[in-house]
Structure 1
Amino acid sequence: MSSMSSSHDNQKRPPPLPDRFFDYYTAAPRIGDDPALHSGRSRQVGHHEGQWPVHVYVEWIVRDDDLMAELDNVVPPGCLSLVVSPLGAELPLHLSLSAPLVLASDHARDAFVDAVTAAVANAGAPASFTVTFSHAEWVTNSDRSRLFFTLRANQNPQLHTLLAACNQVCADSDLPTLPDAFHVSLAWKLPYKEPHEQADEFDRSAIDRLLPELAFQVDTVKLKVGKKVVRIALVPTL
């Protein structure tokens, strides 16, 4: 469980960071692929000169201090929180619309950005919609090198529409597509059990009490290319 101070403390928190702040400070400085440099995790997308790691997602920035503290408090012991940093600073959460991908050239990067931008604009999703959650669960990444403590999103036709558009771009580019199972990761740890064996390692009653308060608005899709973030605003459906 994180050591983040409760928002009920007498100390006054600084004002929240603007959401665009996280577009410019999206990653720690590059320090190599050695797992020892990354809390034991192995990078799914290694650093190679001339290649571009990319990821499509929607972002959730928890603005309510009390809610952020409660989310951090349900992070199971032994996990690294994705809700707040080790210094107690807020962190942006995300819901993926693509797998972590690698593009082999500047040309491929530019073509992918253009294709995703056009696909999102033409997908027919409304200009804004709400994401809510049904339950918490453990999920492994594709190479089973990490376990993630996640919130599973409720069925949402708007998310399905956006995912279908992004998956089509990936399929057209011979890139991996993403399964239709939306979630937001709250924390991670190195695996030592299968996901179904982790069932009792978080406080289900605390999560159930919190679920009605957990929701966020989506009006922008983000496309991270290297360290740059491209914002794609959703347009009203005609």
Structure 2
Amino acid sequence: MFGKGSLSLLEEYGGDSSDEEVPGPRVSVKRTYDSDSSYPSKRRLPVPSQFSNKNENDYVDDPLLHEGRVRSFAHERGNWPSYICIPFEAHMGLQNFLLAIKKIVPEYIELKQCNDFHISLTKTVILRYIWITPFVQSVQEYIKCFNKFMIVFGNAKVYCNEEKTRTFIGIEIKSGYDSLLKIVENLNHSLSEYKLPPFYEDPSFHMSIAWCLGDRQSELNDCLPEINSILETLKEIHNDDNWYIFVEYLLGKIGNKQFQFHLR
């Protein structure tokens, strides 16, 4: 998110020097000695250039491997990118909305659909492997007293990450804000035990649905009135779709592992 230093594959070690013959086939037992040493010389195969300056912790991030996205933090072996969220399963109304807004934004903006839909409750933080089990237990302890609740989606809004490397179109939360805020406060306590950063001080809870590279807030904000008009129309047409979430559990994504934290 790693190879080891290469060792020489061939090394000739010497013994006593002798020109005497031994029984059986004639075999030379001569060894080459350094002129200024009583030890045999060591002849090593050259180390391939791709390994000669390689460190096992070296890692080069290539944005081309993940659609131009840039890491917010350096990769380090043993570190697990982690966050806690509320997941959402896409329905036909949301898919139609995504298709519509791609036709509205300027052609030079390459808008991409988000890989998974969720409402973030923490920033993406780094957990050491040995922290995973106690951190999961801590989160469960902090949120076990919360009851299940409802979230309703409102209008579309434009967001940009802190590094200004990506801009998002999201759907903000219309109701359920107070419950989310109380959960975040408790999650912040759990994060503080590991000296990890808390969530944003004045959070704008939302679900990101599409993104593009760079800071495109100005261009996308110009499109917002038309985007929200389409969203309202789709909500009326697809009124059977769930434009809300009945929150029964939180989802923790820690590296390639997932944990569910159930509410009561």
Range into which the TM-score falls when normalised by the shorter chain: 0.7 to 0.9
Q: Deviations over 1:3-58 (max 9, x none)?
A: xxxxxxxxxxxxxxxxxxxxxxxxxxxx9731111111102244321111111001
Question: TM-score normalized by structure 2?
Answer: 0.65
Q: Does 1:69 align with 2:85?
A: no
The structure-2 alpha-carbon separation of the partners of 1:233 and 1:34, relative to structure 1 and needing over 3 Å to count, comes to same
Q: Number of aligned residue pairs: give it.
A: 190
Q: Does 1:143 align with 2:175?
A: no
| 1: CA distance, partners of 2:153 / 2:218 | 20
- The amino acid across from 1:200 in the alignment is D
Of the structure 1 ranges 39-48 and 215-224, higher mean CA displacement relative to structure 2 is found in 39-48
Q: Which of 183, 205, 217 is the equivalent residue of 2:229?
A: 205
| 2: CA distance, partners of 1:197 / 1:68 | 22
Equivalent residue runs for 1:10-159 within 5 Å: 33-62=61-90, 64=91, 66-76=92-102, 77=105, 78-82=110-114, 92-103=116-127, 105-122=128-145, 125-126=146-147, 128-156=148-176, 157-159=178-180
8 Å CA contact 1:58–1:221 kept in 2: the answer is yes
State the 1:134 CA deviation. Answer: 2.1
State the 1:204 CA deviation. Answer: 2.5
Residue equivalent to 2:34: none
Structure 2 unaligned regions, length at least 5: 1-58
State the 1:225 CA deviation. Answer: 1.0
Residue equivalent to 2:7: none
Q: Deviations over 1:44-99 (max 9, x none)?
A: 2443211111110010012x4x32432322333421012xxxxxxxx641000100
State the 1:220 CA deviation. Answer: 0.9
Identity among equivalent positions (%) equals: 23
**RMSD of the TM alignment (CA)?**
2.2
| 1: CA distance, partners of 2:222 / 2:155 | 14
| 2: CA distance, partners of 1:112 / 1:32 | 29
Residue equivalent to 1:217: 246
| 1: CA distance, partners of 2:166 / 2:157 | 14
Q: Does 1:181 align with 2:213?
A: no
* Higher RCO structure (Cα 8 Å, ≥6 apart): 1
Q: Deviations over 1:149-172 (max 9, x none)?
A: 111112422212211111121233
- The amino acid across from 2:61 in the alignment is D
Secondary structure of the structure 1 residue equivalent to 2:101: coil
Q: Which has the larger radius of gyration?
A: 2
Question: TM-score normalized by structure 1?
Answer: 0.72
State the 1:107 CA deviation. Answer: 2.3
Which contiguous aligned blocks of 4+ residues in structure 1 show a shift greater than 3 angstroms? 74-77, 210-213
8 Å CA contact 1:133–1:211 kept in 2: the answer is no
The structure-2 alpha-carbon separation of the partners of 1:165 and 1:74, relative to structure 1 and needing over 3 Å to count, comes to farther
